[in-house]
Amino acid sequence: MSDKEARDKRILRLSRRKALKGLAAGIGALALPAKDSPASVWEAFFQKNFRELGKEDLQKVLARLEKEYSAQFGKAVKVKATPPVEGVLFGYALDLSRCIGCRRCVYGCVRENNQSRDPQIHWIRVLQLNKEKGVYLEEAEHYYNPAKVPEPGRFYMPVQCHQCKNPPCTKVCPVQATWTEKDGIVVVDYNWCIGCRYCMAACPYGARHFNWKKAGLPAADLNTDTHYLGNRPRPVGVVEKCTFCIQRVREPSGRYTACVEVCPVGARKFGNLLDPDSEIRYIIENKRVFIFKEDLNTQPKFYYFYAT
Amino acid sequence: MRNLRCSCLFLLAGIALHFLPATPALAGLRAEESKPRKEEAASLQFPVPPPPFTPGIFPCSECHKEIKPNTARRVLKDEHTGIVLNHAQGQRWCLDCHDTANRDKLRLVSGEKISFSESYRLCGQCHGDKFRDWKVGVHGQRSGEWNGKKSYLLCAHCHNPHDPRFKPLSPMPPPVRPEDVR
C-alpha cells in the first residue's frame, strides 16, 4: 500500500464527525451551534468530509450551498462538483522569455475565482527579477509599478500553486481538509478546513492564502459558475489557493484557465500531461524547462520554460 | 491520427461521465472531428478572430480599384502616412506582402494569394520556428477548450506587421503591502 493510500484509509477511520460526536456527548454543547440555529447551520456543521459524501448527500450539500449563496448575493449561483476525468493529469507551463509582468493574469484570476477584493487576496504573485542575477529571490520585487513593462534588464516570474506531485501542504493538514485529486489538482474543502494554516507554512511557493476577514466580494462581481472545491464563495477562517480553474477545466468542453486566456503575450500554457499531442507535452519535450525550487522535491506540475 | 486519439479521449470521457446526459455540444464535436482533416480549409484548422484592421479600412479595394498600383518605393503622402516600415525594411517594400493587383489579399513568395485571416502563412515564410511553435499553441495565444475547439490569435493581433516589435504595456496595480492591509 502506498503512503497515500494508507493516509486515505486513515482519514476514513479518523472521521472528524465521530470526533465531534464524542465531543458533543462528552463535554456538552458548548462548541456547537445554538439550539435555535436554522437547520442549515446544523447540516453544515455535521457535513462529512467531501470525499466521504455519497452521491445523494453530495447533491444535498450542493443544493444547500446554492441556496445559501444565491440568497447571500441575490442571484442564481451554480455549485458544481464535477469529478476528475480518467486519463487526464493537468499540467501548466509558463514562458519566462515572454512574460512582461503586466499582471493581467493576477486580476483575471481574481475575477474568475471570486477572490476577496478587500481585504485583497491574490492567488498569483508576479516577481520582478534581475536578468543578470537570474532567479535570485532575495532581490525579488513584488511591488514594481513603472509606467510601462517590461523594464530593461528585468524579467518577470509569476508564482502560483505548483500543484505538486509531492505536496508538503497536504501532508501537514491535521484534518485532511486538503488533498490531491486524481487529475492532479490540489484542492481544499472549505467546509472541512479548520484554519490552522499549517499548509501555508509548509508551502514553499507562498501559494496558499488565508481568509482573515469576511470576503469583500460585491455581488455584481461574483462569478456564478462555481465548483465546490474551487471558486465558490469562501467563509472566514479558511485557506484558499489556485485550482487550475477547476470549474472550467473539468467540464466535457474544458475551457483553458482564466490566466491562460487573459495573458496578452501568450506566455501561459495548459493541458493534459498524459496526452502526447498537448502543448504542454510539446514544451516539456522540446523546450528548456526549469522547475522552481527543484531541490525541495515537491515535483510541481507547474513548469517554467524558455521558448527562445 | 490525432483526430482518432481525440475521439477516443472523448469517448473515454463520455464513458467515465456516463451519468451525465450526452450534451449536443459534445455530439456535435464528435461528428465534426470524424471528418478527414484534408478537407478542412486552413481557416478551420486555425480558426482566428477577425484581423485587427482599423475600422473602415477593409475592403481595401473600395479605394484601390480606382487607384493605379504604384510599385515605386517611396514615402506615401496621400494615404497610409502612419505606416512606417520598421521590419527588415532595407530588403522590403509594401508589395512584397500586399498583392499588387488585388489589395484585399496578401501575397506569398510562391505567388499564391491568401486572405488576411491567414496572414500567419505570410509571416511563417520567414519566421518558420515561430510559426511551428504557434501551430502547436506554444508561441502566441490559443483560447477556447484545452480538450476541444480552440481559437488562435493571428501574429498580427500581437505584432504590427509593419513594426513588429511587441509594444510595452502599462502594468495592473501592484498588490497591497502587508503593512497596509487593514
pLDDT digits (tens, 9 = 90+) for B101-155: 999 999 999 999 999 999 999 999 999 999 999 999 999 999 999 999 999 999 9
Residue A207: its chain B contacts at CB < 8 A? none
- Out of B144, B149, B174, name the one closest to residue A143 (CB): B174
* Structural domain contains residue A24: no
Chain B interface, mutation test: which of A90, A95, A103, most B Cβ atoms within 10 Å?
A103
Q: Which residue does chain B place closest to A105, by CA atoms?
A: B172
Q: Which residues contact A285 (CB under 8 A, 6 or more apart)?
A: none
* Structural domain contains residue A191: yes
Note whether A211 and A236 are within 8 A (CB): yes
Q: Which residue has the cell 513594426?
A: B163
Which CATH number fits the domain that encloses residue A242? 3.30.70.20
Contact A120 B181 (CB under 8 A): yes
Residue B29 pLDDT class (50, 70, 90 cuts): very low
Query: Phi first, then psi: what are they for A14, rounded to 5°?
Result: -90, 45
* Structural domain contains residue B136: yes
- What range does the domain containing A262 cover? 75-308
Residue B3 pLDDT class (50, 70, 90 cuts): very low
Any A CB within 8 A of B11 CB? no
With a cut of 50, say whether residue B19 has pLDDT above it. Answer: no
Task: Give the separation between CA A104 and CA A107, rounded to whole angstroms.
Answer: 6
With a cut of 50, say whether residue B10 has pLDDT above it. Answer: no
Task: Give the separation between CA B37 and CA B43, rounded to whole angstroms.
Answer: 12
Chain A interface, mutation test: which of B132, B147, B150, B159, most A Cβ atoms within 10 Å?
B147
* Structural domain contains residue B15: no
Per-residue pLDDT of chain A (308 residues; tens, 9 = 90+): 566 665 565 555 555 555 555 555 555 555 566 656 666 666 777 788 899 999 999 999 999 999 999 999 999 999 999 999 999 999 999 999 999 999 999 999 999 999 999 999 999 999 999 999 999 999 999 999 999 999 999 999 999 999 999 999 999 999 999 999 999 999 999 999 999 999 999 999 999 999 999 999 999 999 999 999 999 999 999 999 999 999 999 999 999 999 999 999 999 999 999 999 999 999 999 999 999 999 999 999 999 999 98
- What range does the domain containing B116 cover? 46-70+84-164
* Structural domain contains residue B14: no
Spatial CA neighbour of A73 closest among A233, A181, A208, A230: A233
* Structural domain contains residue A39: no
pLDDT at B90: 84
How many structural domains is chain B composed of?
Answer: 1
pLDDT at B44: 65
pLDDT digits (tens, 9 = 90+) for B159-169: 999 999 999 99
Query: Phi first, then psi: what are they for A37, rounded to 5°?
Result: -60, 150
* Structural domain contains residue A64: no
* Structural domain contains residue A187: yes
pLDDT at B17: 41
* Structural domain contains residue B3: no
Any A CB within 8 A of B166 CB? yes
- The rounded mean pLDDT for chain B is 81
How many structural domains is chain A composed of?
Answer: 1
Closest CA of chain A from B139, distance in Å: 7
